[in-house]
Amino acid sequence: MSEDTITASATPPGRGAIGIVRLSGTRAFPLALALTGVAPRHRRVQRVTFRDAAGEPIDEGLQIGFRGPRSFTGEDCVEFHAHGAPVVLAMLEERLVELGARRARPGEFSERAFLNGKIDLIQAEAIADLIAAGSRAAARAALRSLSGVFSARVQSLAEAMLALRVEVEAAIDFPEEALDLSGREALAARIASLSAAIDALRAEAERGFRLREGFHVVLLGRPNAGKSSLLNALIGEDRAIVTPVPGTTRDLLRECLDFGGLALTLVDTAGLRETEEAVEAEGIRRALAEASRADLMLLVLDAAAAETPEPLLEKLPVDGDILTVYTKIDLLPEFHPPPGALAVSAKTGQGLDRLRACLAERGGALAAEGSFSARQRHLEALARCRGHLEAASGRMRPGEEELLAEELRLAHRALAEITGEVSSEELLGAIFSSFCIGK
């Protein structure tokens, strides 16, 4: 357990009816007594007056005590509920620091909860994801991770892995237990079924990851095709500048919306063309970089200009998903899009409902019920685990037991990293420093 008693405001900066300051550590209860003159009690709400060093009142409010380990961090904790005035909360924190507390680093409360075994790493990350959730689906998924759905899946795979390792290590240490042919075949079958289970978990984690990031759609096309107009029409707001001058949009313009429960990020980009102009060229470079990270590229073509997709397709990342949308069809009432493409008008709104439905359908697969939130770190660890299992299955010949055991050890370790059973200080630092203060 850490020696320092830490404090931070747990509510966002700004004014509000209530503002909360938290205190956690071995000296939390005595410091609270010094601040309020009232000894805190476990899970009891007490009406108190917060006082400065001179005994002058800072504010009136509530104090709630939590005795470790029955607290969020696992240590003694006290919450002070004051009025949500930034100066009041600053004075409370200052007083607590005067009394010997230290200001918490971002994520330090969650880090302590992890270090004291209250939550595993997946759950700590899920708290951050829940707070940052941009859609109802993302919030639900984060809550499922927080409640241990993802952790339990990883745990059960880790247990199966451990059982496998025990057997292989035994064969090495006790030659009388050496693996015979049928033993080897059984082992290979178990490695194969573990690999399949990891693949299934990876597919689900991938969905959870996408959900957290949101469905990322990038509008691309020639200058003047009508990209910015389409973005404005889709979000129902006049956000992007629209002019008849080709090359109007230079910077990326990102708009996030809750799209039927799914977080949708729409990105408007500079029109793609050959140019000598430095600013425009940079805009085009950024457009293509954004396209390479897109879940879906909306290829916007000017129907009235009889544009075809081919010249643009050459420029776009080859492996991405593309939906072709012909726009300005109000100018060409007889226009019929080729199969697989949509036709819209930003001006009259024609076809926009179909486009929205299409986006919801493609994005909706991501937001499937029952998924849990996951991060890049989890995906990488699962991929590494899978790689070591693959390598292990190539080490099944007699005499290779040591190599087999080593691959299984590495696969097991990759899994354990996900929940934080094995972790390095750098990893923890990187995870918790991305949290906000007071969490």
Ligand X SMILES: Nc1nc2c(ncn2[C@@H]2O[C@H](COP(=O)(O)OP(=O)(O)OP(=O)(O)O)[C@@H](O)[C@H]2O)c(=O)[nH]1
Binding residues for Mg ion (CB under 5 A): 228, 248-249
Nearest CA to 130 among 146, 117, 118? 146
- Candidates 88-96, 119-127, 236-244, 358-366 — which segment interacts with ligand X by CB under 6 A? 236-244
CB 81 within 8 Å of CB 97: no
Taking CB under 6 A as the binding criterion, the range among 14-22, 253-261, 342-350, 368-376 that sits at the site for ligand X is: 342-350
Would you give the distance in Å from CA 165 to the centre of its chain?
32
DSSP state of 420: T
Among the listed residues 7, 228, 265, 324, the single contact to ligand X using CB under 6 A: 228
H or E segment at 9?
strand 6-9
Which residue in 51, 105, 136, 347 binds ligand X (CB under 6 A)? Answer: 347
CB of 107 to ligand X, least distance (A): 40
Query: Among 225, 385, 405, 416, which residue interacts with ligand X (rule: CB under 6 A)?
Result: 225
Q: What is the DSSP letter of 271?
A: P
> Does 73 interact with ligand X (rule: CB under 6 A)?
no
- Closer CB to Mg ion, 249 or 373, in the complex: 249
From Mg ion, ligand X, none, interface partner of 272 (C-beta below 5 to 8 A by class): none
Residue 59 or residue 302: which is nearer to ligand X going by CB? 302
Contacts of 228 (CB under 8 A, 6+ apart): 240, 241, 242, 248, 249, 253, 268
Q: What is the DSSP string of 176-234?
A: GG---HHHHHHHHHHHHHHHHHHHHHHHHHHHHHHHHH-EEEEEEESTTSSHHHHHHHH
The 297-336 site mask, x for binding ligand X (CB under 6 A), equals ------------------------------xx-xx-----
Report the chain's terminal Cα–Cα distance, integer Å. 18
Q: Which of 63, 229, 265, 324 binds ligand X (CB under 6 A)?
A: 229
Length of the chain: 439
CB of 249 to Mg ion, least distance (A): 3
* Minimum distance of ligand X from residue 347's CB (angstroms): 4
Identity of the residue, 36 or 324, whose beta carbon is nearer to Mg ion in the bound complex: 324
Q: Of the candidates 11, 26, 116, 248, which one interacts with ligand X according to CB under 6 A?
A: 248
Nearer to ligand X, 87 or 305 (CB): 305
Q: How many CB atoms lie within 10 A of CB 119?
A: 22
Structure tokens at 39: 């000894």
In angstroms, the CA 87 to CA 91 distance is 6
Distances (CA, A) of 141 to 20, 221, 270: 27, 34, 34
Nearer to ligand X, 191 or 240 (CB): 240
Kindly tell me which of 132 and 281 has the beta carbon lying closer to ligand X. 281
265-284: contacts with ligand X (CB under 6 A): 270-271
* Residue 221 interacting entry, from ligand X, Mg ion, none, C-beta within 5 to 8 Å by type: ligand X
Residue 350 CA to residue 85 CA, distance in Å, equals: 49
State how far the Cα of 393 lies from the Cα of 219, in Å rounded to an integer. Answer: 44
Of 89 and 287, which has the nearer Cβ to ligand X? 287
Question: Which among ligand X, Mg ion, none contacts residue 414 (Cβ within 5 to 8 A by kind)?
Answer: none
Residues of this chain that interact with ligand X (CB under 6 A) are 221, 223-229, 242-244, 246-249, 270-271, 327-328, 330-331, 345-347
